[in-house]
Amino acid sequence: RTSRWQVECRHDIDTFTPGFLAMYESLKPSEEHKTKQQQLVDSLTKSVSKEWPDARLHLYGSSANSFGTSHSDVDVCLEMEIGTESTVEILLKLADVLRTDSFDNVEAITGARVPIVRMSDPESGFSCDICINNLLAVANTKLLKDYAQIDQRLLQLAFLVKHWAKLRGVNETYRGTLSSYAYVLMCIHFLQLREPKSLPCLQAMEHTYTMNVHGTECAYFDKVHQLQDFGAENKESIAELLWAFFHYWAFHHNYKRDVISVRIGNTISRKQKNWTARIGNDRHLMCIEDPFETDHDLGRGVDRQTIRILREEFERAATMLQYDDDPCVTLFEPYDYEN
């Protein structure tokens, strides 16, 4: 049974598919970009191994989860045994090492939820964030990458959504909107709910991959090459999906009642998760469960004002896709902060 919101789409929506696909192609990082990124990783490895010969370097975030554009930064995690030193002491030492090796704008940001060293690479100009032993991020990077290999429409949808969010000013966690990571999870959740489904729920399948990170079990089915045809029954085009995505977040999702969960491939009630009362700064106005750290709400930074902004933006996008003559342009019009 198709519900009301699935059948309202304009009949000429598919005339926009070529435009959206061209846009997706233009956002994908070039081969040159990937080569430069690898060179940065190589020179970083060299610098780090002088001081910490046993450290392992992992790429995470969009440079490794396949959702990166040519504008994405490079996120690196160093895995190392820590003796009596604190993470902050190691980061300060790392900052010194990188300065000596002539990386630019090296800065230790130690007050953040995840402390990092930020710097830029003089060769490529890329900005790079380095954290220590944040292996949950390494695990969720692999999960996203594996989902991306099942149905190519996930990558297309997520690139367009991330691009839209950046231009519309709703991809800024420090301002109370959502991270890129949250948007990708929203896309996965949405595709898990299509009928027929475009994506499965990997964590609900046989666990062929397991990693234990400080007591948190990260486990799911990762033999995704076996799932190449999973989404074949679903024939929706990228234009239809993009419309339905914004329509879902504008009119269908029940913000007051539900938490989205990629882990179970559906929504769960806030009650069931005990995310009803405001605890500290967690207001739970838009609930997005982290697939592994299940008590972590990725919408925790959303407040009364930004939930309104987000929902207005979802509505605006759905309306443009429904009625506008040229949604490939109007959807991505940069938000004007002056007015």
In the complex, what is the shortest distance from the CB of residue 179 to Mg ion, in angstroms, rounded to a whole number? 9
299 touches ligand 3AT by CB under 6 A = no
Tell me, by CB under 6 A, how many residues bind ligand 3AT. 18
The residue with tokens 């913000």 is: 255
Instruction: Give the range of 25-33, 67-75, 222-230, 310-318 binding ligand 3AT by CB under 6 A.
Output: 67-75
Buried-state track 287-324, b at ≥16 Cβ within 10 A, e below 16: bbbbbbeeeebbbbbbbeebbebbbebbebbbbbbeee
Phi-psi bin for 2: left (phi > 0), alpha (psi -120 to 50), beta?
beta
24 touches ligand 3AT by CB under 6 A = no
Q: Can you spell out the DSSP letters for 230-283?
A: GGGG----HHHHHHHHHHIIIIIS-TTTEEEETTTTEEEEHHHHT--S-BTTB-
Residues 309-338 that bind ligand 3AT (CB under 6 A): none
**Nearest residue (CB) to Mg ion, 134 versus 203:** 134
**Nearest residue (CB) to ligand 3AT, 61 versus 231:** 61
**Nearest residue (CB) to Mg ion, 75 versus 240:** 75
Tell me, by CB under 5 A, how many residues bind Mg ion. 4
**Nearest residue (CB) to ligand 3AT, 174 versus 337:** 174
Q: Which is nearest to 211 in space by CA: 143, 122, 111?
A: 143
Q: CB neighbours of 338 closer than 8 A, spacing ≥ 6?
A: none
Q: What single DSSP character describes residue 294?
A: T
Amino acid at residue number 103: F
72 touches ligand 3AT by CB under 6 A = yes
In the complex, what is the shortest distance from the CB of residue 225 to ligand 3AT, in angstroms, rounded to a whole number? 22
Instruction: Give the range of 60-68, 117-125, 152-160, 203-211 binding ligand 3AT by CB under 6 A.
Output: 60-68
User: Using CB under 6 A, which of 23, 48, 75, 78 touches ligand 3AT?
Assistant: 75
290 touches ligand 3AT by CB under 6 A = yes
User: Using CB under 6 A, which of 106, 298, 321, 331 touches ligand 3AT?
Assistant: 298
Helix, strand, coil shares of the chain, percent, nearest 5, are 45, 15, 40
Phi, psi of 97 (to 5 degrees): -60, -45
What residue 181 binds from Mg ion, ligand 3AT, none (CB within 5 to 8 A, per partner kind)? ligand 3AT
* Residue 71 in tokens: 């504008």
Residues 121-160 that bind ligand 3AT (CB under 6 A): 137, 140-141
Residues 11-70 that bind Mg ion (CB under 5 A): 61-62
What residue 179 binds from Mg ion, ligand 3AT, none (CB within 5 to 8 A, per partner kind)? ligand 3AT
Pattern of binders to ligand 3AT over 168-207, x per CB under 6 A? -----------xxx--------------------------
User: Rounded to whole angstroms, how far apart are CA atoms 234 and 58?
Assistant: 35
User: Rounded to whole angstroms, how far apart are CA atoms 302 and 269?
Assistant: 18
Sign of torsion over alpha carbons 321, 324, 328, 329:
negative
- Whether cis (ω within 30° of 0) applies to the bond prior to 196 is yes
What residue 267 binds from Mg ion, ligand 3AT, none (CB within 5 to 8 A, per partner kind)? none
Q: Which residue ranges make up the site for ligand 3AT (CB under 6 A)?
A: 60-62, 65, 67-68, 72-73, 75, 137, 140-141, 179-181, 290, 296, 298
Task: Note the residues at the interface with Mg ion (CB under 5 A).
Answer: 61-62, 73, 75
